[in-house]
Copies of this chain bind each other. A is one copy, B any other.
Amino acid sequence: MTSIDWAKVRADFPILAQQVNGKPLLYLDNAASSQKPRAVISALVNYYERDNANVHRGLHELSSRATDAYEGARVKVAKYLGAASAEEIVFTRGTTEAINLVAQTWGARFVREGDVILLTEMEHHSNLVPWQMLAERTGARLRFVPVAEDGTLALERLGDLLTAEVKMFAFTHISNSLGTINPVAELCRAARAVGAVTLVDAAQSIGHLPVDVREMGCDFLAFSGHKMCAPTGSGALYGRAELLDAMPPWHGGGEMIVTVSYERSTYKKAPARFEAGTPNIAGAVGLGAAVDYIEGIGRATIFEHDLALTRHALARLGELPGVRVQGPRDRRGGLVGFTMDAAHPHDLTTFADQHGLALRGGHHCNMPLMKKLRLPGTTRASFYFYNTKVEVDRMADILAEAVRFFA
Contacts and interface: CB of A to CB of B under 8 A. Distances in A.
A132 B29 contact: no
A283 to B, nearest CB: 5
A278 B33 contact: yes
Nearest to A41: B48
Contacts of A357: 60
Contact of A279 (B128, B233, B254): B233
Q: Find the residue from A256, A353, A371 having the highest chain B CB count within 10 A.
A: A353
A283 B280 CA distance: 9
A58 interface: yes
B54 A49 contact: no
Contacts of A232: 52, 278-283
Interface residues of A, number: 94
Given A44-B44, A254-B124, A226 B278 contact: yes
A359 interface: yes
Given A232-B278, A249-B133, A277-B94, A36 B48 contact: yes
Contacts of A62: 15, 20, 25, 27, 29, 358
B125 A353 contact: no
Given A58-B360, A231-B282, A260 B63 contact: no
Contacts of A224: 277-278
B263 A142 contact: yes
A278 B225 CA distance: 10
A253 B93 contact: no
Given A45-B45, A52-B15, A261-B371, A276 B129 contact: yes
Given A254-B124, A262-B128, A93 B280 contact: yes
Contacts of A367: 257, 259-261
The A interface, classified by DSSP as helix, strand, loop or mixed, is: mixed
A35 interface: yes
B262 A144 contact: yes
Contacts of A359: 60
Q: Find the residue from A95, A121, A144, A231 having the highest chain B CB count within 10 A.
A: A231
A14 interface: yes
B264 A132 contact: yes
Q: How many copies does the complex hold?
A: 2
A61 interface: yes
Interface in A346-382: 346, 349-350, 352-353, 357-362, 365, 367-368, 371
Contact of A358 (B29, B63, B264): B63
Contacts of A128: 252, 260, 262, 265
A251 B97 contact: yes
A352 B367 CA distance: 58
A360 B224 CA distance: 33
A355 B95 CA distance: 43
Q: Find the residue from A142, A226, A251 having the highest chain B CB count within 10 A.
A: A251
Contacts of A280: 93, 231-233, 280, 283
A15 B236 CA distance: 28
User: What are the 10 A-B residue pairs with the smallest beta carbon separation, nearest first?
Assistant: A96-B277, A233-B280, A129-B252, A126-B253, A96-B253, A32-B54, A60-B358, A100-B251, A130-B252, A33-B54
Given A57-B362, A58-B358, A260-B368, 19 more contacts: A29-B58, A29-B60, A32-B53, A32-B57, A57-B365, A58-B349, A59-B360, A96-B254, A96-B277, A97-B276, A100-B252, A125-B265, A129-B256, A129-B276, A130-B253, A233-B234, A253-B365, A259-B367, A261-B368
